[in-house]
Amino acid sequence: MTSSPARVLTEDELDVLELVLGGAIPRLPFAEGPVTLTDTENTPLAEVGADGSVSPVKPIATALGPQWDERLRAPARDVRADVAPGTTAVWVSEVPTTEDAAATARAATRGDVLLLVPASRHTAPGTVGAAGLTRAALALAAEVPGAPRVVVVPYPRGSTTPASSALAPARPDPEAATPGAAPTPSDIATAYGAERLFVPADDRSPEARAALAALPDAHARAVSALYPAAAAREVERAAAAGHGQGTVVFFTGLSGSGKSTVARALAAELDDDGMGATLLDGDAVRHHLSKGLGFDRESRETNVERIGYVASLVAKHGGIAVAAPIAPFAAGRAKVRALAEEAGARFLLVHISTPLEVCEARDRKGLYAKARAGEIPDFTGISSPYETPTDADLVIDTSEVSVEDAVKQVRAAV
């Protein structure tokens, strides 16, 4: 690590960093060195030199889901070196229709086929997210006859511009992209080794386009056909306003225990299931909701109470809030529970009980070493106490339980 200034990356910027480190694009369009790039947990990920060169420091955090499977999400340089000449890239940014599958098979006339899935970190309500798109692409791969090989590659979406041309030639040189501009689908296709780019959505028939456009209003049309106009309005109003009981899932544990990793994976899986979870991670919240607070006991309690208040508002309106601060003190956790219950929400306290020595060995940020050297005062587990919960609804030790199994346990307990 150097003493260069730090820059906290947004989620889109994290994707762009992954593209640069994987050899998909030549330079970062948003950072001039020297600077240290970190995620919202202040974990140093890369160093940018004065010449713009980027050197990795720590791996970028991943989550659950097929879009994060390292066997699929390979660096561009590795995919490019492995594919055959004449490879066609197919842009799978929407769930392929039956017509799309047939068009893809027609387009794959020579060479390998890359099914490129732009994997966004968030799923908009009512849409199929990166995990679903990746599963759909894996199914599509089995429906492309004749190609020597069909490879599904979810790639970090970042701020890629929309694809708009079918069977377009990929850009002949990955370095030819405009510096600082968002990479186009053609840029990405070339970076991963393709010579042609096919966008199935551009090849759809007018009938398919009309049927897809009509889908969002299918429920309203069915209601209108079943009820008189006034009654239909009441049914639609009730459907729009209805929601179930909200939930607050509140993780607590030492730094490095794995609570943020499990919380992110839980939120991503809930998003993928269309349940729209709101993630309130401890470090990320401090950048916004609790900016300016210190780390003395009073400031920590204030930070936890603010997180609990926002979580209760989300849950009050039927949403799911997933929070993951350290929350070292029993009194603060009790306040959060009370806020959730006052809002009429379910509350689940999850203690990530990973032992201190394991947390310290995992330390990606070097905080424990600094705390033991006296450079960080009031550090939980070293110079400040952690009050082990006696009222936890679920206790998970991530040194013994995988992230996937931890998420399953939490979902079963909610």
User: Which residues are annotated as part of the binding site for ATP?
Assistant: 253-260
How many Å apart are CA 354 and CA 396, to the nearest integer? Answer: 7
> Exposed (0-12), middle (13-18) or buried (19+): which is 203, by Cβ within 10 Å?
middle
Cβ(389)–Cβ(334) below 8 Å: no
- Residue 236 tokens read as 């639609």
In this structure, the number of other CB atoms found within 10 A of the CB of residue 237 comes to 10
Cβ(92)–Cβ(115) below 8 Å: yes
Strand, coil or helix: 405: helix
- State which H helix or E strand residue 316 sits in: helix 297-316
Strand, coil or helix: 395: strand
How many Å apart are CA 44 and CA 55, to the nearest integer? Answer: 11
How many Å apart are CA 135 and CA 226, to the nearest integer? Answer: 35
From residue 274, give the alpha-carbon distance in Å to each of 127, 175, 267, 381.
8, 38, 11, 37
- Residue 381 tokens read as 């587990």
Annotated binding-site residues read 253-260
In this structure, the number of other CB atoms found within 10 A of the CB of residue 114 comes to 28
Name the residue among 118, 65, 121, 71 with its Cα closest to residue 95: 118
**Local structure of residue 64 (DSSP, 8 states):** S
Q: Which residues of 82-98 are buried (b: 16+ CB within 10 A; e: fewer)?
A: ebeeebbbbbbbbbbbe
Residue 119 CB partners (closer than 8 Å, separation 6+): 67, 73, 130, 133, 134, 154, 155, 156, 157
